[in-house]
Amino acid sequence: MTKEMPSLRCIIGTLFIALLLPPGSFPATTLSPSFYDETCPTVFSIIRGIIEQALLSDPRIGASLLRLHFHDCFVNGCDASILLDNSATIESEKEAAPNNNSARGFEVVDAMKIALEFECPGIVSCADILAIAAQEAVNLAGGPSWLVLLGRRDSTTANRTLANLAIPAAFETLDVLKSKFAAVGLNTSTDLVALSGAHTFGRAQCTIVIERLYNFNGTGKADPTLNATYLETLRKVCPQGGNGSVLVNLDPTTPNTFDSNYYTNLQAQEGLLQSDQELFSTSGADTIEIVERFSSNQIAFFESFVVSMLKMGNISPVTGTEGEIRLSCRRVHMDYTSSNKWSSS
């Protein structure tokens, strides 16, 4: 299965975007869209093909893969630390509150790594797999395509404590969201609003929104920013005392499509997560105008989303001779070789 060639607009646009990134955004060892051109030229088609296959049985896998990249980059940079399992040396970020029983898609990433190790042994990092998978997932859902900057290496550590603190949460206020974006070098206006637009596809569990529906901030009432009709719809799907693992569409209008309807939903007070609705319903916020602009101009949203994704993907990458290229995305080399030695014995 071959990947469609990026459009000329995509190529020119991505190169132009690189010029827009602020000074100091790139590490000393610059990431490059051509990093694997000689060593693993089929990397994109392999990853895209596996996502296409996964989508046949799991329509939300694209959103899940994009989320893995987000949650990875917010914790010590885009280094694939989120993929590491618990071991004698690793306290996995998978068990941090924002990820536990929530982050998913790890088996699909495993399939990508296995296929790439067969095709290009020891070449493609797990961190770059997440970056490419995020772009392919967005594009397969109808969103933009861009030239992914590559050349990251994988971390040899994880940081569950920081994952609990740094990853934006569904129940947070706009001020808290802004502080978390600023902490990783993203701006608190356009980057925040554009990257939040990733919630234009995918699902969330009832347990994430139940307090908002019945006991917002301990009031015993629903969040007043929720549209009354939408509230009743959500209460039918997520009854009080019901099954918290039931899934709700993040975008009630086009749940599997990457588009600007997310912002139109916010204007109608139909943002599923408090963190989403905060962008439009916080009085006097500088994010309101951006929501309105993206709602009325999908191209503007797509262009800003690409810029912000490139910036986020460039948060503290491990490059050069630092880190490693894992053989399994779930384990660092030391744990992987030890495990294989015992398996052989």
What does the pLDDT look like over 202-214, one tens digit per residue? Answer: 999 999 999 999 9
Q: Closest Cα to residue 329, out of 125, 91, 50, 86? A: 125
Point out which residues pair with 203 in neighbouring strands.
249
Q: What three-state secondary structure class fits 324?
A: strand
Question: What pTM did the predictor assign?
Answer: 0.91
Give the pair of three-digit tokens for residue 265. Answer: 């939903």
d(CA 174, CA 276): 9
Q: Does residue 4 carry a pLDDT above 50?
A: no
Q: Which domains does the chain have, with CATH numbers?
A: 42-202+250-314 (1.10.520.10)
**DSSP one-letter string for 264-289:** HHHHTT--SSHHHHHHHHSTT-THHH
Say whether 191 counts as a known binding-site residue: no
pLDDT in tens, 319-330: 999 999 999 999
CA distances from 163 to 93, 195, 198, 200 (A): 6, 18, 19, 23
Point out which residues pair with 205 in neighbouring strands.
247
Say whether 200 counts as a known binding-site residue: yes
Q: How many CB atoms lie within 10 A of CB 1?
A: 9
Q: How many CB atoms lie within 10 A of CB 243?
A: 10
**DSSP one-letter string for 35-46:** TTTTT-TTHHHH
CA distances from 210 to 25, 53, 165, 241 (A): 39, 33, 22, 9
Q: Which residue has the higher pLDDT, 125 or 18?
A: 125
Whether the Cβ atoms of residue 22 and residue 308 lie closer than 8 Å to each other: no
Q: Does residue 117 carry a pLDDT above 70?
A: yes
The residue type found at 268 is: A
Give the pair of three-digit tokens for residue 64. Answer: 């899940």
Q: Which residue has the higher pLDDT, 13 or 310?
A: 310
Q: Does residue 10 carry a pLDDT above 80?
A: no
d(CA 178, CA 43): 35
Say whether 72 counts as a known binding-site residue: yes
- Locate all alpha helices (DSSP H) within 57-187, ordered by sequence: 61-73, 106-119, 126-140, 160-166, 174-183
d(CA 92, CA 160): 6
Whether the Cβ atoms of residue 80 and residue 94 lie closer than 8 Å to each other: no
Q: What three-state secondary structure class fits 1?
A: coil
Say whether 79 counts as a known binding-site residue: yes
Say whether 81 counts as a known binding-site residue: yes
Say whether 2 counts as a known binding-site residue: no
Which pLDDT score is estimated for 334? 75
Q: Which residue has the higher pLDDT, 93 or 14?
A: 93
Q: Which residue has the higher pLDDT, 80 or 18?
A: 80
pLDDT in tens, 246-278: 999 999 999 999 999 999 999 999 999 999 999
Give the pair of three-digit tokens for residue 301. Answer: 């949203």
Residue with structure tokens 């779930």? 330
Which pLDDT score is estimated for 30? 80
Give the pair of three-digit tokens for residue 283. Answer: 């009085």
Say whether 223 counts as a known binding-site residue: no
The residue type found at 200 is: T
d(CA 15, CA 1): 26
pLDDT in tens, 60-116: 999 999 999 999 999 999 999 999 999 999 999 999 999 999 999 999 999 999 999
**What's the whole-number mean pLDDT along residues 281-298?**
98
Which residues are catalytic, by number?
Answer: 71
